[in-house]
Structure 1
Amino acid sequence: MKVLITGGYGFIGSHVAERFHQEGYDVIIIDNLTTGKKENVTIKHKSYQLSIEDPKCVEVFKSHKIEVVVHLAAQVSVANSVSNPIADAGSNIVGLVNMLNLATTYGVKKFIYASSAAVYGIQKELPITEEMECTPISPYGMSKLSGEMYCEKWERLYGLQTLGFRFSNVYGPRQDAIGEGGVISIFTNRLLTEQPLILHGDGDQTRDFIYVEDVAFAIYRGANSPQTGIYNLSVNEQTSVNRIIEVLNEIQPVPEIIHKEKRAGDIEHSVLDNRKVMRDLDWSPLYTIEEGLAKTVAHFKKESKKPLKAEKRAPSPARVKARKILSKAIPTLETLVAFSLITWLTFIYPSSGSGVIDLKLFFITIIGIMHGSRQAMLAVVLSTALFTYQKLEGGRDVISLTYDTDFFFQLAIYLFVGLVIGYTIERKKTIIKQQAYELDEMNNRYVFLDRIYTDVRDVKDELQTRILNAGDSYGKIYAATKELESLEPEHVFNSAVSVVKSIMHVKKVKIYVVNKPQTYLRLMASSGYDASGLAKSLKVAEHAYLNEVINTGAIYRNEHLREDVPLMVAPLFHNEKVTAIIAIDDLSFESFSMYHQNLFKITTDLISSALNKAFTHISATESQRYYEDSIILKPEVFSDIVTSKKKMYEDYGVPYLLLNTECFDLSTSATAEYLSTKLRETDYLGMDYAGNLLILLTNTSKDDEEKIVNRLAHDSIILTATEE
């Protein structure tokens, strides 16, 4: 079984991951590492560094058959929720809804989520039970309460089993000094570094502290329980801060206690009633506060002895600002330095202004190439000033210059060169920047999908190894499914027939493709049936068993042995939608069992996986399969599909028809556009190597030619059969 833990590298999530791993689950973790640490989890697991709001999370659900989701990823700071409620809602509400939606879409059996005692707000009556009114006093508590309502409604609307826990103050190893219950980790850190403990108030304020391993075990129990709804998760005991200090002092002497004023808004006493969770989940807390603190301090001591990793400190805002100013100033400084050099050369070699090369034009060009339009314009201004100065030094006056067309022509050349060079370089920089951004996006997507592929491949390799070692029947499955290694759906459908025949020991197999509205089925491949008695198309509404298979996605068994219905029918999926069905007949009576139903499911799942891979490949290489802006297959692709149809005809007698088109007063693209509206989803349009436009009709014989030609008739198109 597979469990997905969001926030699995966090304090609670890492302990939950360990518990499920101990119980034999395959663990998958989604965590954006905002607060979690990868070193928290040392067990074997699959890891994805994603935010729970990220659309790429769908790839994780697609790649793994997840049965349980434990949703712990959240924004957990009350203070941060007050200062930035939008970010709090984004993680705690939007992220939760994304996980709920994916869990529903991909058939998760149980969804467990973390709520908080913060939903209760300030309560006068203690202990607090689940039935008491929730009046949260912070955006954090409000978002957690909203999450509970979403989960409750999701269960009613979509049938997803949801179970929520309102945690009291959780403590234990790996806890950071933030969030609810952080007082213990803060005290422990200060104790081990021999710093004084800071106590706000008199220390008589109480909380309901629960050890993290008790929480992890409760979540595991919930995953394996039919219970749903919301539960308090606590010890149901009030422990004062003074008592915490006493226990810590027994473990290691407390150096000093500094008393400070009580913080405004602090709740004096809090304790949650845990009788409901103890009764319904058969769970009880195992660790006393003394045992929990001893384990926590021991962990912190062990961690403190590890060598510290060098942390990269973020530069201060002042330094960042200084760097920005400097980065903007450097191009200007370079321009001024270059201008100083040009000015010096101009006065050293005065003839250069009117000689073979104008140094000022050279200056504008070089600066424009180096820094773009802004510095190019500065170079133009400086060059204009220098040129004017040269003229004035040469005995000209300002008034005469205003009437000098040569003077303005020279200035126009400076401006023109500056604008052209500057614009060209800016445009080039913009294109490079855009391409770099797109390349970075593609690289990120490639890395992510490559990890998904590697994970799926590992699972497949492991499954194949198990199949080979599991006995003769399953070894045969492995050998047969090697035939499915193709990236062309036509080849997969052809191979699927022989694979099903071989594994299920049947002679009659037929595969129908489902149209997009899922209202009709079209025969794609078959074996063992009398061609005259085999329906080439089926209307879903007229067959109850087809309705059942398409709507439920489950295997259909003809338990009443009706003659007009196949013995078994299994769906094939693509993008979580039934895209085809495989039906078998002629199964021996002793093989009409649950074992063979499971065998059929394994076989069709492998076929479905191969088909998914082929469809994904086609989507990714669509531009290489078709001529640009058309639906006409290129010769090499079309030829491959025709070869596949020939093989199906030779092996199983499934007919096909190849029509040649001759066009008059119509272009090839216009002809293809007209024909595409008349063809079925299982037919193809393509070019041969001689440049002829051909139509390939699936499951169509020579006898159907006249009817097909009449259906496709057009005044400007002549259709002739070239091959059947």
Structure 2
Amino acid sequence: MKVLITGGYGFIGSHVAEQFYKEGYEVHILDNLSTGKQDNVSIKHKKHITSITDPKCKEIFASYQFDFVIHLAAQVSVANSIQNPIYDAEANILGLINMLQLAQQYNVKKFVFASSAAIYGNNTNLPLNETEIPQPIAPYGLSKWVGEQYCSNWETQHKIDVINFRFSNVYGPRQTSEGEGGVVATFIAKAHQNETLEIHGDGSQTRDFIYVKDVAYAIFRATQSFITGTYNLSTNTQTSVFQLVEILKAQGMSLTTTYTNAREGDILHSSLNNTKVKTTLDWVPMYTIDEGLANTYLWAQEQQQKRKKKETRQAKKKYKFPNWLIQSKSYLENTLIFILISFLLLQLNLPSMSIFIFGVFYIMAIGSIYGNQQSFTSVVLSFLLLVYDYLHRGREAISLLYDSTFLFQIVTFLFIGLLVGYSVQRKNDKISEQYEQLQELQVRYQFLEDVHTEVREVNEELQFRVKNNEDSFGKIYSLIKELDNLEPEKIFTNTVMVVERVMNSKDVSIYVLNKNHTYLRLTAHSEFTRNEQLQTSLKVDETPYIQQIIATGQPFINRALEPNVPLMVAPIFYDQEIRAIISIGKLPFENFSQYYENLFIVVKQLIQSSLSRAFEFIKLSEDNRYIESTNILQMNTFKEILAAKKEAKDLYGIPYHLLTFTVEEANLIDISKTLGNMLRETDYLGYNHSKLHVLLSNTNEVDLPFILKRFYNAGFEHAVDEKVYNL
């Protein structure tokens, strides 16, 4: 699976990239390197160096088809947002909109947006809940709040799953002094440089500091869950700046402090309530402030040692000429060559015309080699040589101004210098322009080559999987065919077989939830569980994982491997209510993975779709399905259900019993009401030729005597009759 992390070379983004890489994802990073550093990321990844507003982003989305987008790229400085609110809005709003549009267009499964505690402003109702009304002080907080509204709009209008995480003050390795949480990085950096810590305000202001690895793991967990909406991501604690200094001193740092005026836009106290994310996402911060600062300080020490080694290596390098000397190299070469040749010519005592011809050729030669600037320098040098030659021969300087030959020679120098210099410079500019175009084309070609290579690799991998997984299409085809039915009981029976095949499990159970949401009745299960003590009913208020499913409407995955709890459970909805659950008790160890979790959800959706069609059909055909004014099925419908029960018994050993009573047709309405109160929702009644048939689902020999006694006490004589199936 592929994940795109915008701002992935930044402080938080680099840790998020590492988290996804550890989990086996193909990591892509999109960053313009305005604040991020490529050195922050050492894992294998695909890099896309561009802005989140660049039209080139569309090519990236189209080429790679990302599963998840983690949007961390932003302008993160409160102070900068006050000084330049336009840039803040461009980076934090327009960039987000571009990412949302592309995520929608290219079917991204989940979009995670990094919001901020800054949206709450100076609210004193601490710890702050997600329900508090945003009151941002600075443009930074305002842009984050607007970003949340865009995310919510996209989720509603375009059906894309979005999570808004409101970060408290994140700190940890690789953090710079930029952004909201930079106080930790600033303090540690100044401590290493033996500088005085400048504290804005009196030091009593508090923040909710959260370690960066806790943030990275929460983001990953969110992509693996079914939650959407807005959540605080914090530790739900307050740490003052003064306490922060004391903790750093306890780590062995020598610190001196000074106090200045509070910064504009800063809030006094901040603490976010993280109850919602802990209960919904099953996540808790693992690092205390002391542990996090210790790790951050250790990292800073390692970085300082690396810098010292680098400075030492650079100091050992050979001396380099200063830049001004390197840049004037061509002028020095030109002048030295001219002086040397001129000295030789003057020693030969050649006529003035020879000096003039030398000047012409020299200007042409130097102009052709170096271009316009050195061509003009050659004109000046040739002019000085010519003047010196005339004066050396006894001419007066003032007379040269009236000498037409001298003036002609000077004009010739200028003309040739300008002509050659302009021509060569034009040629060099053209070459330079073409070289830049070539570089641009090479970059684009490399990008397309990378895309081509990636597509080819994906194509080869897909062909390999298809070739080596010969029944993949058969699984999908059988799944669709087996669930293509309009009788719920038949679908329940076939569902067991489908889930067994797709999930490679022999421990599948299906429970139906009663109307009051108090009990679940076992309606189908695998043959593997025939001889096990499988619960035929589950009481909701005694089963925590069922309570969680009913409360959230989301599947349950037993990642903690709790005993006597299924590994995977998914709800089946109809008409916005949970009607049943599918439960997988056991799986091969290698199949308890994210791939099979996703596969389970796909199967669940297909089953839910089939059951919805069946329930809708029953709803529309009630007049033909039931005897009027009763809950007694017409005989043809009853036989279909009985056939499904018989098939389930043959395939999986799911027991059932059929009771037959002789009744008067005129009493069917009263009998229907009486038996309706005695039977479970998974039991059925059928009537034919004065015979009332009662189909007891999932009823074994042990249960039967108690059920018969209930019927007897109600005044019904009974007979077990399997032959009704052949009527």
Per the shorter chain, which TM-score range?
0.5 to 0.7
CA distance in 2, matches of 1:303, 1:395: 73
- Is residue 7–residue 36 contact of structure 1 (8 Å, CA) maintained in 2? yes
Identity %: 49
What's the counterpart of residue 446 of structure 1?
445
- Match of 2:62, SS? helix
Question: Relative to structure 1, is the Cα distance of residues 238 and 371 closer, same or farther in structure 2, using a 3 angstrom cutoff?
Answer: same
- Match of 1:358, SS? helix
- The alpha carbon displacement at 1:124 in A equals 4.0
- Is residue 176–residue 185 contact of structure 1 (8 Å, CA) maintained in 2? yes
**What does 1:510-525 correspond to in 2, within 5 Å?**
none
What's the counterpart of residue 13 of structure 1?
13
**What does 1:153-232 correspond to in 2, within 5 Å?**
153-187=153-187, 202-232=202-232
What's the counterpart of residue 97 of structure 1?
97
What's the counterpart of residue 434 of structure 2?
435
* Structure ID, larger Rg: 2
CA distance in 1, matches of 2:397, 2:24: 92
Q: Which amino acid aligns with 1:11?
A: F
- The alpha carbon displacement at 1:102 in A equals 2.0
- Is residue 11–residue 175 contact of structure 1 (8 Å, CA) maintained in 2? yes
- The alpha carbon displacement at 1:116 in A equals 1.4
Matched, 1:29 2:39: no
State the Cα deviation string for residues 268-293 of structure 1 (Å, max 9, x = none). 21112334444554544444434544
What's the counterpart of residue 362 of structure 1?
361
**What does 1:23-172 correspond to in 2, within 5 Å?**
23-38=23-38, 40-41=40-41, 45-82=45-82, 85=85, 87-172=87-172
Unaligned runs of 5+ in 1: 476-593, 596-724
Question: Relative to structure 1, is the Cα distance of residues 350 and 156 closer, same or farther in structure 2, using a 3 angstrom cutoff?
Answer: farther
Question: Relative to structure 1, is the Cα distance of residues 327 and 388 closer, same or farther in structure 2, using a 3 angstrom cutoff?
Answer: same
CA distance in 2, matches of 1:34, 1:355: 60
What's the counterpart of residue 609 of structure 1?
none
Q: Which amino acid aligns with 2:15?
A: H
CA distance in 2, matches of 1:281, 1:256: 39
CA distance in 1, matches of 2:380, 2:459: 68
State the Cα deviation string for residues 276-315 of structure 1 (Å, max 9, x = none). 4445545444444345445555665677777977379999
- The alpha carbon displacement at 1:263 in A equals 4.0
- Is residue 78–residue 139 contact of structure 2 (8 Å, CA) maintained in 1? yes
- Match of 2:465, SS? helix
CA distance in 2, matches of 1:386, 1:40: 60
What's the counterpart of residue 349 of structure 1?
348
Q: Which amino acid aligns with 2:446?
A: V
- Is residue 173–residue 299 contact of structure 2 (8 Å, CA) maintained in 1? yes
Question: Relative to structure 1, is the Cα distance of residues 99 and 311 closer, same or farther in structure 2, using a 3 angstrom cutoff?
Answer: farther
Aligned-pair Cα RMSD in Å:
4.2
State the Cα deviation string for residues 116-151 of structure 1 (Å, max 9, x = none). 122333334433344444444444334333433433
- The alpha carbon displacement at 1:71 in A equals 0.7
- Match of 1:354, SS? helix
What's the counterpart of residue 465 of structure 1?
464
What's the counterpart of residue 714 of structure 1?
none
CA distance in 2, matches of 1:313, 1:35: 26
- Match of 2:103, SS? helix
What TM-score, normalized by structure 2, do the two folds share? 0.56
CA distance in 1, matches of 2:293, 2:430: 59
What's the counterpart of residue 241 of structure 1?
241
Question: Relative to structure 1, is the Cα distance of residues 311 and 8 closer, same or farther in structure 2, using a 3 angstrom cutoff?
Answer: farther
Q: Which amino acid aligns with 1:12?
A: I
**What does 1:585-604 correspond to in 2, within 5 Å?**
none
CA distance in 2, matches of 1:253, 1:393: 80
- Is residue 356–residue 386 contact of structure 2 (8 Å, CA) maintained in 1? no
- Match of 2:350, SS? helix
What's the counterpart of residue 651 of structure 1?
none
CA distance in 2, matches of 1:64, 1:410: 68
- Is residue 342–residue 363 contact of structure 1 (8 Å, CA) maintained in 2? no
- The alpha carbon displacement at 1:49 in A equals 3.8
Matched, 1:340 2:339: yes
CA distance in 1, matches of 2:303, 2:344: 67
- The alpha carbon displacement at 1:359 in A equals 1.5
- Is residue 346–residue 352 contact of structure 1 (8 Å, CA) maintained in 2? no
What's the counterpart of residue 412 of structure 2?
413
CA distance in 2, matches of 1:141, 1:309: 41
CA distance in 2, matches of 1:373, 1:243: 66
Q: Which amino acid aligns with 2:413?
A: Y
Q: Which amino acid aligns with 2:211?
A: Y
Provide the aligned length of Structure 1 versus Structure 2.
472
- Is residue 68–residue 111 contact of structure 2 (8 Å, CA) maintained in 1? yes
CA distance in 2, matches of 1:294, 1:334: 59
- The alpha carbon displacement at 1:177 in A equals 4.4
- The alpha carbon displacement at 1:338 in A equals 4.3
What's the counterpart of residue 680 of structure 1?
none
- The alpha carbon displacement at 1:34 in A equals 4.6
- Match of 1:351, SS? coil
What TM-score, normalized by structure 1, do the two folds share? 0.56
State the Cα deviation string for residues 341-373 of structure 1 (Å, max 9, x = none). 454345323424324972111221123123322
Question: Relative to structure 1, is the Cα distance of residues 308 and 329 closer, same or farther in structure 2, using a 3 angstrom cutoff?
Answer: closer
What's the counterpart of residue 2 of structure 2?
2
Question: Relative to structure 1, is the Cα distance of residues 66 and 358 closer, same or farther in structure 2, using a 3 angstrom cutoff?
Answer: same
- Match of 2:69, SS? strand
- Match of 1:104, SS? helix
- Is residue 9–residue 31 contact of structure 1 (8 Å, CA) maintained in 2? yes
CA distance in 2, matches of 1:275, 1:185: 28
- The alpha carbon displacement at 1:164 in A equals 1.6
Question: Relative to structure 1, is the Cα distance of residues 165 and 420 closer, same or farther in structure 2, using a 3 angstrom cutoff?
Answer: same
CA distance in 2, matches of 1:42, 1:375: 47
Question: Relative to structure 1, is the Cα distance of residues 137 and 345 closer, same or farther in structure 2, using a 3 angstrom cutoff?
Answer: farther
CA distance in 1, matches of 2:314, 2:82: 25
Q: Which amino acid aligns with 2:440?
A: E
Question: Relative to structure 1, is the Cα distance of residues 415 and 298 closer, same or farther in structure 2, using a 3 angstrom cutoff?
Answer: closer
**What does 1:376-391 correspond to in 2, within 5 Å?**
376-388=375-387, 390-391=389-390
- Is residue 249–residue 255 contact of structure 2 (8 Å, CA) maintained in 1? no
Question: Relative to structure 1, is the Cα distance of residues 60 and 125 closer, same or farther in structure 2, using a 3 angstrom cutoff?
Answer: same
**What does 1:709-720 correspond to in 2, within 5 Å?**
none
Question: Relative to structure 1, is the Cα distance of residues 382 and 260 closer, same or farther in structure 2, using a 3 angstrom cutoff?
Answer: same
Q: Which amino acid aligns with 1:216?
A: A
CA distance in 1, matches of 2:94, 2:133: 24
CA distance in 2, matches of 1:103, 1:22: 24
- The alpha carbon displacement at 1:169 in A equals 0.7
Q: Which amino acid aligns with 1:143?
A: S
Q: Which amino acid aligns with 1:126?
A: L
- Is residue 2–residue 25 contact of structure 1 (8 Å, CA) maintained in 2? yes
- Match of 1:462, SS? helix
- Is residue 196–residue 255 contact of structure 1 (8 Å, CA) maintained in 2? no
CA distance in 1, matches of 2:78, 2:144: 11
Matched, 1:270 2:266: no
Question: Relative to structure 1, is the Cα distance of residues 213 and 379 closer, same or farther in structure 2, using a 3 angstrom cutoff?
Answer: closer
CA distance in 2, matches of 1:371, 1:208: 63
- The alpha carbon displacement at 1:437 in A equals 0.7
Unaligned runs of 5+ in 2: 475-605, 608-727
State the Cα deviation string for residues 678-718 of structure 1 (Å, max 9, x = none). xxxxxxxxxxxxxxxxxxxxxxxxxxxxxxxxxxxxxxxxx
Deviates more, 1:122-131 or 1:71-80: 122-131
- Is residue 115–residue 145 contact of structure 2 (8 Å, CA) maintained in 1? yes
